[in-house]
Amino acid sequence: MTASMQSSVGNPADEKLGMNLTLRIWRQKDPSVKGKMVTYKVTDISPDMSFLEMLDVLNEQLIMQGDDPVAFDHDCREGICGMCGLMINGQAHGPQQTTTCQLHMRSFKDGDSIDIEPWRASPFPVIKDLAVDRRAFDRIIQAGGYISVPTGTAPEAHATPVPKADADAAFDAATCIGCGACVAACPNASSMLFTAAKVTHLGLLPQGQPERDDRVVNMVAQQDREGFGGCTNIGECSAACPKGISMETISRLNHDLLGALRAGARPKS
């Protein structure tokens, strides 16, 4: 992929105050056409800007020039909704272990060249530019990532004590925000960390026990159907995870899966 277009944007008046950067950004109009890397220059970028605010600056300039702004997903911009996610210089969410929205430009220096690409995995097709379709994750949850408890049927909250250590470990796994960085970082494009986080969260709690076997076999079967790759325990997923979901969750999933299969659990077709 090479730069095929050059355009320069920014605010020349205050050039001395901020950084000047070269951005190489993946542009793809829609899923039916081939994309390419396009080079842009931005100037006067404050180190206190978030990475997405830097892209906002670029987009405002592109609109004013009558060009198509760069499409990218984002929403809460406080690191919790999981909507944003960019490959920055080949790393999911960039050089720090955080979400793209929480990455700040102080992580870069004047004159840097930054490559910005979408998550690359066939189960996450590109919608436009840097935005991808991650609904495959929702379908994995649909396959069993829940406890079946219709509204109104719940027992008193204190009826079942939960050891603090279990509750804390369940919480750690439950903090997964479903951003997809694990898939993007994995050489196999495996969704194992995402699936394992949910299997661990629910499997550690007494409320999650009745469906534990069915849950794991069905969620694993669904991630296979979606076309995610197999897990070979490389660990890139956990290293890229903005919430620090541990590889232990994958061990736990494998343990649960073997146990469930031995006990006769089989995925629904």
Partner 1 sequence: MPLDLFSVGDPIADTKAPTDVPIGERWSERQFRGRLVNPANRRKLTIIVVGTGLAGGSAAATLGEAGYKVKSFWYQDSPRRAHSVAAQGGINAAKNYRNDGDSVHRLFYDTVKGGDFRARENNVHRLAEVSVNIIDQCVAQGVPFAREYGGLLDNRSFGGTQVSRTFYARGQTGQQLLYGAYQALERQIAAGNVEQNARTEMLDLIIVDGRARGIVARDLVTGEISTHFADAVVIASGGYSNVFYLSTNAKGSNTTAIWRAHKRGAYFANPCYTQIHPTCIPVKGDYQSKLTLMSESLRNDGRVWVPKERGDTRDPREIPESERDYYLERIYPSFGNLVPRDIASRQAKNVCDEGRGVGPGGLGVYLDFAEAIERMGRPAVEAKYGNLFDMYAQITGEDPYATPMRIYPAVHYTMGGLWVDYDLQSTIPGMFVIGEANFSDHGANRLGASALMQGLADGYFVLPSTISSYLADGPFEKVDESHPAAVEAMQGVQEQVQKLLSINGTRTPASFHREVGQLMWDYCGMERTDEGLRKAIDRIQEIRKEFWSNLKVTGDWHSFNQTLEHAGRVADFIELAELMCIDALHRRESCGGHFRAESQTPEGEALRDDENFAYVAAWEWTPEGQPPVLHKEDLVYEYVHLAQRSYK
Taking Cα atoms as reference points, which of 47, 10, 5 lies closest to residue 27?
5
Q: How far apart are CA 57 and CA 66, in angstroms?
A: 15
Residues 24, 25, 43, 82: which binds partner 1 (CB under 8 A)? 82
Q: Does 195 bind partner 1 (CB under 8 A)?
A: no
Q: For tokens 């661990």, what's the residue?
A: 200
For residue 48, give the amino acid letter. Answer: D
Residue 31 or 259: which CB sits closer to partner 1? Answer: 31
Residue 62 or 221: which CB sits closer to partner 1? Answer: 62
Taking Cα atoms as reference points, which of 188, 178, 198, 164 lies closest to residue 242?
178
**The Cα angle at residue 161 between residues 156 and 166, in degrees rounded to 5:** 130
Residue 53 or 115: which CB sits closer to partner 1? Answer: 53
Q: Does 20 bind partner 1 (CB under 8 A)?
A: no
Q: Does 130 bind partner 1 (CB under 8 A)?
A: no
Residue 24 or 74: which CB sits closer to partner 1? Answer: 74
Q: Does 170 bind partner 1 (CB under 8 A)?
A: yes
Residue 110 or 138: which CB sits closer to partner 1? Answer: 138
Site string for partner 1, 200-229 (x = CB under 8 A): -xx--x-xx---------------------
The upper half-sphere exposure of residue 248, i.e. CA atoms within 13 Å in the direction of its Cβ, equals 10
Stretch that binds partner 1, among 74-82, 110-118, 188-196, 231-239 (CB under 8 A): 74-82
Residues 10, 35, 79, 267: which binds partner 1 (CB under 8 A)? 79
Stretch that binds partner 1, among 110-118, 161-169, 183-191, 252-260 (CB under 8 A): 161-169
For residue 186, give the amino acid letter. Answer: C
Stretch that binds partner 1, among 19-27, 80-88, 231-239, 248-256 (CB under 8 A): 80-88
- Residues in contact with partner 1, total (CB under 8 A)? 78
Compute the Cα dihedral for 221, 223, 227, 228 and give only its sign: negative
Q: Does 171 bind partner 1 (CB under 8 A)?
A: yes
Q: Does 33 bind partner 1 (CB under 8 A)?
A: no
Q: Does 234 bind partner 1 (CB under 8 A)?
A: no
